[in-house]
Amino acid sequence: MAERENFTVPSSDGHSRLFGTLWKPEGQPSMVLQIAHGMLEHMGCYDEFASWLADQGILVAGHDHLGHGRTAEDPSQLGVFAAKVPPSDRRCQLRDAKCAAAVSEKDGTVFLIRDLNRVRTVLSRRYAGIPYFMMGHSMGSFMLRRYLTAFGDGICGAVLMGTGNQPKAAVMAGLALAGGASALFGPRSRSSTVERAWKQAFNRRFCPLRTSMDWLSTDEEQVDRYLSDPLCNFQFSSSAYRDLLRMVYDSEDIRLARRIPKDLPILLVSGDQDPVGEEGRGVLRAEALLRRAGVRQVETKLYPGCRHELVIEKNRLQVAGDILAWMESCRTS
């Protein structure tokens, strides 16, 4: 039976503490899986998925990103990665050549990437010698793709769930809009119009609609649970949209993708009805990008009839089993 253990790690922003959770198997774990969760959710959303893997002997861990979950000290911090980078962090960034290669802008992306590495460092020391894997879902997948360009060495494999390869023009337009709103109205400003627009764009494929988030999963009970969770489905700030879109843009840059270790096994998993992955088309473009960048072991698995949140889809145990089997194959190869 899996045991849950909470932990905290100081954030690279200089004042926050990252709230994390371990799902520990009985006895010594055979592998470690660190998860980077998606936008507008938290690590608690992965409890069933992580508990099942822990029951199979996998140590699963992850933290609530800045502006998310229990890392946010109060509701006003939900949806805000960073208002600005403190001067001390700029100095630290300049001293850290690896981080300087990973992120070039002095904004929330600096903290998100570095926080992933802080948690990885803590876990790698605690579970030294155990094969280490990382998984990113949705926003977390773009974050992980960016992370791998600087910190990919030493990882046995990476799982990209709910990812895609967005049209460059659309990303650039969104960046201009979010960056302009952040500059004009402040980094913590929020827009209900922007919020409605992207949700409607993702949801329109699933008419007639039952909720505003039907695009997440075909499991209505799980969608309702998400909507009733006060730590999910909040409004993103304009600066957080800017930071997210910058990560999306950078993750699709072939020049940066070439920095990913060529021998790193990567698994892309997505529902073939996921609007983020454009019903699989964007996922296949992401696979092609990685192959063009020289990554030799890239595999894609699309699940028929499934939507965005595979960990709460009706076939979620099948997905977990497939990921486990892939991890086992990487460990023994």
Task: Look up the pTM and report it.
Answer: 0.91
Q: Look at residue 166 in the predicted model and tell me its pLDDT.
A: 87
From first to last of its 333 residues, what are the pLDDT tens digits of the chain?
789 999 999 999 988 999 999 999 999 999 999 999 999 999 999 999 999 999 999 999 999 999 999 999 889 899 999 844 444 444 344 334 444 434 433 478 989 999 999 999 999 999 999 999 999 999 999 999 999 999 999 999 999 999 999 888 888 888 888 888 878 887 888 887 778 788 888 999 998 999 999 999 999 999 999 999 999 989 999 889 999 999 999 999 999 999 999 999 999 999 999 999 999 999 999 999 999 999 999 999 999 999 999 999 999 999 999 999 999 999 988
Task: Determine the structural domain holding residue 74 and report its residue range.
Answer: 3-332
The C-alpha atoms of residue 248 and residue 270 are separated, in whole angstroms, by 17
Q: Look at residue 333 in the predicted model and tell me its pLDDT.
A: 80
Residues with Cβ within 8 Å of residue 116, at least 6 apart in sequence: 34, 36, 134, 143, 144, 147, 151
Maximum CA pair distance of the chain? 54
What are 41's two structure tokens?
A: 């959710």
**DSSP β-ladder status, 17-24 and 58-63:** antiparallel
Residues with Cβ within 8 Å of residue 159, at least 6 apart in sequence: 133, 134, 135, 136, 266, 267, 268, 269, 323, 326
Q: Look at residue 172 in the predicted model and tell me its pLDDT.
A: 87
Q: What CATH number has the domain bearing residue 216?
A: 3.40.50.1820
The alpha carbon of 135 is separated from its chain's Cα centroid by a whole number of angstroms, namely: 7
Q: Look at residue 210 in the predicted model and tell me its pLDDT.
A: 96
226 contacts 233 by C-beta, under 8 angstroms:
yes
39 contacts 88 by C-beta, under 8 angstroms:
no
- Dihedral angle sign, alpha carbons of residues 85, 179, 171, 68: positive
283 contacts 246 by C-beta, under 8 angstroms:
no
Amino acid identity at 48: E
The C-alpha atoms of residue 81 and residue 325 are separated, in whole angstroms, by 34
Q: Structural domain tally of the chain? A: 1
Q: What is the 3-state secondary structure (H, E, C) of the chain?
A: CCEEEEEEEECCCCCCEEEEEEEECCCCCCEEEEEECCCCCCHHHHHHHHHHHHHCCEEEEEECCCCCHHHCCCHHHCCCCCCCCCHHHHHHHHHCHHHHHHCCCCCHHHHHHHHHHHHHHHHHHHCCCCCEEEEEECHHHHHHHHHHHHHCCCCCEEEEECCCCCCHHHHHHHHHHHHHHHHHHCCCCCCHHHHHHHHHHHHHHHCCCCCCCHHHCCCHHHHHHHHHCCCCCCCCCHHHHHHHHHHHHHHCCHHHHCCCCCCCCEEEEEECCCCCCHHHHHHHHHHHHHHHCCCCCEEEEEECCCCCCHHHCCCHHHHHHHHHHHHHHHHHC
Amino acid identity at 141: S
